[in-house]
């Protein structure tokens, strides 16, 4: 059970890294293409750089806290 939990936590860290990368792309006015069951095109919209910076900082804090938990379990 602990091994599965650890794997899930590490996967979440990877997902957070991807989310940070996507936020940075949007902040730089890049368009994101999501392809899967449906194809989606995502653009920045009306969000300010401050909004993106705040979201990125929240994601980094969540990643740090999760990394601390993972390191305690290893």
Residues 23 and 29: their CA atoms lie apart, in Å, by 10
Residues 30-49: pLDDT tens digits? 999 999 999 999 999 999 99
What does the domain layout of the chain look like in residue ranges? 47-74
Stated pTM of the model? 0.87
- Residue range 4-20: average pLDDT? 95
Do the beta carbons of residue 53 and residue 65 sit within 8 Å? no
For residue 25, count other CB atoms closer than 10 A to its CB.
15
């Amino acid at each position: 059970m602990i091994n599965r939990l650890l794997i899930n936590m590490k996967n979440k860290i990877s997902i957070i890294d991807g989310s940070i990368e996507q936020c940075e792309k949007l902040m730089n006015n890049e368009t994101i293409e999501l392809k899967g069951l449906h194809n989606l095109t995502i653009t920045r919209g009306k969000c300010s750089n401050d909004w993106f910076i705040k979201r990125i900082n929240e994601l980094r804090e969540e990643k740090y806290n999760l990394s601390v938990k993972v390191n305690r379990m290893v």
